[in-house]
Structure 1
């Protein structure tokens, strides 16, 4: 018999002590895209830009009612209208660059853009008919009125985003289409196609941009260079205001419709596009990149956009802009402060919660269940990782909210 000490088993390496089982990793929570990405995923820069731009929209709509005898206000209105709509559209195109025609994104497009357009087009038409007693006493869902044109345009632009992304040179093609639209009179108000086509280059430009392009305009050198550009723009607007036909800035008519020769249309499209891009870059150069008191309001710009029109038109219909003092310096100051404060209030989370049912309806009852996406499915159409600068989760989860809530403007 072998001694116990010489047994082969006695020389084996002792087994390690048992470890307690590792706690089960929490299951990843699918982001609630209905409310947008979390604060860690959102870039404060874009929220700040959207808030400041929506304030400019409200100011422009308010100034339009009192600027007839105020050259300084006319100058400010002209400068603002050169870039504030293109700025919104460029940001909208930037967040639409990964949009495709998959079911879950089409559902977001329908519920987040088309449904609000139909609701607010109806609401504004009823407001105009029964409160303002102006215009055609009928509701036409195919002819956008007042500020609803942007939702209609955004629906078309996003629906055609895969086509623009497929082209080798999308921006020159978009500019060519815009120039052709500017020499096509009598297009009419159907879907406001003139604006859709003439503003399309701004949307396509946004789709072509990458995070590093926004980093360039956020540099200190760009901020310094923007000052003389704005000064020269204000001086040029002051000089041109008396003879300027402001309708050119709205992009809602062909050159012949404005009484100009046909060649003026393409030239104006190119000039306005260049000026819009330049001033948008200067505007973005001064947008803070850190979290501020107004950063959270950037997520509620859809409410500020769609609701402020009722206030401005309500004051107009009630004769609030008619007193003589309203057309002087004091009136301009009062209107500016009240309009900025009003738009700010309408962008607050409380207002967004109240109107979420119509601005961001779920409408699950209207759609078939969408199969969950696989783990390897990319947010882009080419399957590659999202470009650097902002987390891919933020791009895919927050894009659909940003495209409609951040990009909202109108005349």
Structure 2
């Protein structure tokens, strides 16, 4: 059979037969073994050089700031404006909550503010009228006082003239040079002048009292000013209530805080939202990075600024570059919500891992949050190691 196989033309030999012929020759087997050894040495040398130059791990994934959108009020949800997976812009409406009560309360506060504005306008008009009236009254009373004072002086002068005429007539009457009727007339004139002076003095006192009354009326304007200051303070409070209620009304519309993608919705239309509870979960797909967990035995070679090569499991052929931007100071176990205190006393040494953040350079590769990647970080000496030694 072997002889028949050797007699067949080469073109008719199968691949298995050719391989059998190659392996049947000791020289060929030796060559294949040498080639395999060289390939193994090359691969081993590349592996060693790679381990010497890079820190590698597959414990890495795409991460982003996951934003939980919550509400500051409770109420019945009237509409849901988006669906999971929708891309939204900052300010886009996500939910609307029944706002009828808030609308009515805002109308009440605005009506109260308008009422206070009307009262302020009325008091300002009253203050203007009172000021004008008080000014006119004071001026009129001052003029009356001056007139009464002049009347007193005139009456006093008339009294003095009547007294002199009375004394002269009395002397003549006593000498018998004039009749008694003439003396009586002089005496009546003196009495009349005396009464006129008293009347003028009384009128002057009345005018002075009226002037003081007009001055007191002017103080009414100051009281109106005090009332205006109180109303103005109440108006400021009412305006503050209006603005606060506008904020409450706006809180009935839940909006997207940033540009991004809706990852999850927690309520449907008709359900009742709760104060402080999350309503949606979203993130910005254009602001992702790599979160990698590096072994504590390799972390000494990882420093901010180191160049990183990233291979995404979702697109392994794509070339993605990045740089280390942050290395945490605690291990994952220390940052865990429930760290293991090793209460039973049995110790098993486990290599700890430290979280590292890697910011990616701009790329056209679509990277989804949570997908796995493999990274290779270029090793570098720390700042203390690279500094020149002190002489």
* TM-score of the alignment, normalized to the shorter chain, above 0.5: no
Structure 1 or 2: more helix by fraction? 1
| TM-score (normalizing by structure 1) | 0.18
Higher relative contact order (CA 8 A, sep 6+): 1
Between Structure 1 and Structure 2, whose CA radius of gyration is higher? Answer: 2
Structure 1 or 2: more strand by fraction? 2
| TM-score (normalizing by structure 2) | 0.19
